[in-house]
Amino acid sequence: MSRRTLASKLTTVTAALAALAALSGCADQVSSHASGSGGSGGKGPKVKIMVGGIDKVIYLPAMLAQRLGYFKDEGVNVELLSEPAGIDATTSLVAGNVQGVVGFYDHTLDLQTKGKSVESVVQLAQTPGEVEIVSDKAADDLKSPKDFAGKKLGVTGLGSSTDFLTKYLGVHDGVSTDKFSNVAVGAGQTFISALQQGSIDGGMTTDPTVAQILDKKLGKVLIDMRTPGGSKKALGGLYPSSSLYMNTDWVEGHKDTVQKLTNAFVRTLKWMSAHSAQEIATKMPSDYAQGGEGLYAKAIESTLPMFTKDGKMPADGPATVQRVLKSFNPNLKNATIDLEKTYTSEFTERAS
């Protein structure tokens, strides 16, 4: 091998190692950023929780519990991680990379059909907290889900809960899922950019993205599922969404730790119910308020009605979720789902 060839190969290897180091550094920064302040230090059992978008208001209780120091009070060392879409967070749980997910309850039903036993241990929300937005450019042709045919609709990820709910809205109004296209565009700035560029005609997203879109006059609200009334109108009932869900085997083997996590989350929900949106906003990381502090507080205020006050599953919630999923999901359509295995009230009862 010539000296020139050897030098060339060494240069290539050095560059590759430098790139890997840079990527590792970025990953560390993301992990550190997600964990925020007010963490549990190094004491107590270590639990990794993946959040399906750490800065989304619908998942706010996870970071808020950390910031209030409630995990630390319970003696559990929680590391919060973030994935942009709920389906990615679920993949991390199934792979065993994390012990819990703060994401949509509906994934527990979908996973059961695939032979995975996963259950919600704390139900953070009773409605989806989602909003179907239509861009100003497409508003004349897209006035309801009946107009979904031929449209490109943004979702956080394919197989995500936004994907599920968008399909349901179309099917419910007589438009089969093969008539429109769901496009994975994430949330936040990537969703806003897709709307601005015309890559999507509309889509499903949450606050604070909704507040930013309305503030910039880029789109309009087509369907609002942030409140119990909005959920019932769009889906025919309460639709439990944001939750802490975990592998059933792990729950059974770590009940003391699960109880501590539940205590922290229920305490957080109660704190939220007794404080204003502005007070909640001041507890969150400053970079979550990308549209400004006032707009961020407004986004929280719009979304607060979705949250439970005690972490308990709404009585008819699981049945509503099952009905919605069966309407379009071939995996669930003819499957027998044991709803009682998709959630547990054991820990929230003790927390109360």
For 85-102, the pLDDT digits (tens) are: 667 788 889 989 999 999
* Nearest alpha carbon to residue 120 among 304, 346, 350, 305: 346
Location of structure tokens 């970079």: 287
**Positions of the chain with pLDDT under 50:** 1-41
- Ordered domains of the chain (ranges, CATH): 32-127+239-351 (3.40.190.10), 130-225 (3.40.190.10)
Return the pLDDT at 58.
Answer: 96
Nearest-angstrom CA–CA distance, 127 and 207: 14
Instruction: Report the predicted TM-score, pTM, of the whole model to 2 decimal places.
Output: 0.85
Return the pLDDT at 119.
Answer: 98
Q: What angle do CA 188, 63, 314 make, to 5 degrees?
A: 90
Integer Rg of the chain from CA: 21
Name every residue whose Cβ is closer than 8 Å to that of residue 165 and which is 6 or more positions away in sequence. 128, 130, 204, 225, 235, 324
Return the pLDDT at 268.
Answer: 98
Q: Which helix (H) or strand (E) holds 301?
A: helix 293-303
Location of structure tokens 């906003």: 281
DSSP string, 225-254: ESSHHHHHHHHSS----EEEEEEHHHHHH-
Reduced to 3 states (helix: H, G, I; strand: E, B; else coil), residue 333 is helix
Nearest-angstrom CA–CA distance, 108 and 103: 10
Location of structure tokens 């290539």: 12
End-to-end CA distance of the chain: 72
Peptide bond into 208 cis (omega under 30): yes
For 116-130, the pLDDT digits (tens) are: 999 999 999 999 999
* Nearest alpha carbon to residue 59 among 26, 81, 30: 81
Taking residue 290's Cβ as centre, other Cβ atoms within 10 Å add up to 15
Helices (H), 143-238: 161-172, 189-197, 209-215, 228-235
Reduced to 3 states (helix: H, G, I; strand: E, B; else coil), residue 281 is helix
Structure-block tokens of residue 6: 């050897």
Return the pLDDT at 42.
Answer: 53
For 209-268, the pLDDT digits (tens) are: 999 999 999 999 999 999 999 999 999 999 999 999 999 999 999 999 999 999 999 999
